[in-house]
């Protein structure tokens, strides 16, 4: 029984590591939100976004850049989609061209989040 438990623990640990390494490991942007230049994959910050429920969280997780303007205007402790009290959260990775841009962003992320939203093409 002891050997069986050890095997199960090893399988669970391996699965956890694989999921952790894969989930959210890629930045949502390819251009720096401050300079507009290409990004350095080593210059990345995590941004926490809050939601009232897993339904709102799921919508965000499916297309995070679609909701960046709302995230920029969101109130701390409130869902960015409904405005209700937060009960869930997600984290997105934002990449930068250099450490200077990353430091500016980290001081005031909401100031730059809207720049991560997709732009609508003119007809």
| Positive/negative CA dihedral, 42, 28, 64, 37 | positive
In a domain, 103, yes or no: yes
pLDDT at 122: 62
Residue 92 lies in a domain: yes
Q: What is the pTM of this model?
A: 0.74
Residue 45's domain spans which residues? 26-116
60-77 pLDDT tens trace: 999 999 999 999 999 999
* Residue 16 resides in a domain: no
Whether 105 maps to a domain, the answer reads yes
Q: How many domains does the chain have?
A: 1
Q: Are 65 and 112 in contact (CB under 8 A)?
A: no
Count CA atoms closer than 13 A to 78's CA, side-chain side: 12
Q: Is residue 71 part of a domain?
A: yes
79 in a structural domain: yes
In this prediction, residues 30-38 reach a mean pLDDT of 96
Amino acid 120: pLDDT: 74
DSSP string of 5-31, one letter each residue: HHHHHHHHHHHHHHHHHHTT-S-S-SB
Q: Six-digit token pair at 55?
A: 């339904």
Is 42 a domain residue?
yes
Tens-place pLDDT, residues 70-110 = 999 999 999 999 999 999 999 999 999 999 999 999 999 99
Q: Using one digit for the tens of pLDDT, what is the confidence trace for 41-59?
A: 999 999 999 999 999 999 9
Whether 23 shows a pLDDT value over 60: the answer reads: no
Flag whether 97 is in a domain. Answer: yes
With H, G, I as helix, E, B as strand and everything else as coil, classify residue 61: helix
pLDDT for residue 118: 87
């Amino acid at each position: 029984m002891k050997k069986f438990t050890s095997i199960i623990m090893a399988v669970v640990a391996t699965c956890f590591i694989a999921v952790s390494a894969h989930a959210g490991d890629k930045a949502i942007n390819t251009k720096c939100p401050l300079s507009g230049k290409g990004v350095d994959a080593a210059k990345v910050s995590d941004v926490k976004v809050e939601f009232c429920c897993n339904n709102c969280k799921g919508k965000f997780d499916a297309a995070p850049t679609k909701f960046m303007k709302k995230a920029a205007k969101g109130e701390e402790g409130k869902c960015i989609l409904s405005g209700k009290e937060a009960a869930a959260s997600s984290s997105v990775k934002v990449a930068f061209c250099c450490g200077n841009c990353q430091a500016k962003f980290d001081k005031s992320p909401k100031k730059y989040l809207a720049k991560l939203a997709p732009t609508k093409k003119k007809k």
